Structure 1
Amino acid sequence: MPVLHADGTRTPKCDSWKDIVHHWTEGEPCLGLVVPLKDWPHHFYNGRHGRQFNTKYYQRSMIATEFLDEFQGNEEAFLKVYGSAARQGHTKLLKAILDARKRHHRNGERRRHLVNEGCD
């Protein structure tokens, strides 16, 4: 990431997480991603390329599911909590999400606590 689009432009680093969510839910046929990541069978990311795809798949799943499941796709609430990390790119965002998951383990707990804390 950032993703190179068909028109030759790249997604800004601060929006790379949106590409990840899109690839998770919809795929990106023009990039060869005809099956959304959420629908990939296990052997797609654990086959011949093993660790490389497994790690990337895991990282993208963490970002996408945090946004879609924990924040129910609410971009405003998501960015209230993770905005400063998201502006720095998906790697910093992933670290912020993993840190938040360590502090607040249960589903629903992170959003409630972090939005109320307003940590950004």
Structure 2
Amino acid sequence: ATVPVVIPAHTVPRISPPVRRPRIPMTTSLDDVLRYWENGEPEKDLTVPLKLWTSTYGSDEYDQGEAVKLGQIQSIRDEFVIHCGSDYSRFEERYPGLRGQYTKLLKAVRCARQERGEAKSRRRRK
């Protein structure tokens, strides 16, 4: 007769589900920037607002590309809140027609930051 082998529970390896790295959804406007920063967007898997990312996640928990996007979004958010006083009219005066054009807005904000001496332009690679 064969005797069943019993493996104690503490030696059975537990398989945990793969951990999904946090991702920032596609950002297309100032409104996306402000919503993602303040509230997140659970419908798009952004369950933690971006303003809490650095205190919630370690830098090893999200990809470098997400870190770049986080910095870009923060610079646009800061431009709106700090330099435009959270005033949509003032924002529109400084960045006419760019509220819904994320890429062009990002470029314009970078230029404004460079003009104020808050950012340096990088040398282009050959």
State whether TM-score is above 0.5.
yes
Partner of 1:96 in structure 2?
Answer: 108
Q: Which has the higher Rg, Structure 1 or Structure 2?
A: 2
2:73 equivalent to 1:60: yes
Runs of 4+ in structure 1 deviating by more than 4 angstroms, as ranges, are none
* Secondary structure at the counterpart of residue 35 of structure 1: coil
Normalised by the length of structure 1, the TM-score is 0.66
Name the CA shift for 1:36/1:48 in 2 (closer, same or farther; >3 Å): closer
Name the CA shift for 1:33/1:79 in 2 (closer, same or farther; >3 Å): same
- Compute the RMSD of aligned alpha carbons: 2.3
Q: In the alignment, which of 42, 47, 60 is matched to residue 60 of structure 2?
A: 47
Q: Which has the higher helix share?
A: 1
The answer for unaligned runs of 5 or more in structure 1 is 4-12, 107-120
Name the CA shift for 1:51/1:45 in 2 (closer, same or farther; >3 Å): farther
Partner of 1:22 in structure 2?
Answer: 35
The answer for unaligned runs of 5 or more in structure 2 is 1-24, 119-126
Give the share of equivalent positions with the same residue, in percent. 29
CA contact (8 A) 1:45 1:54 kept: no
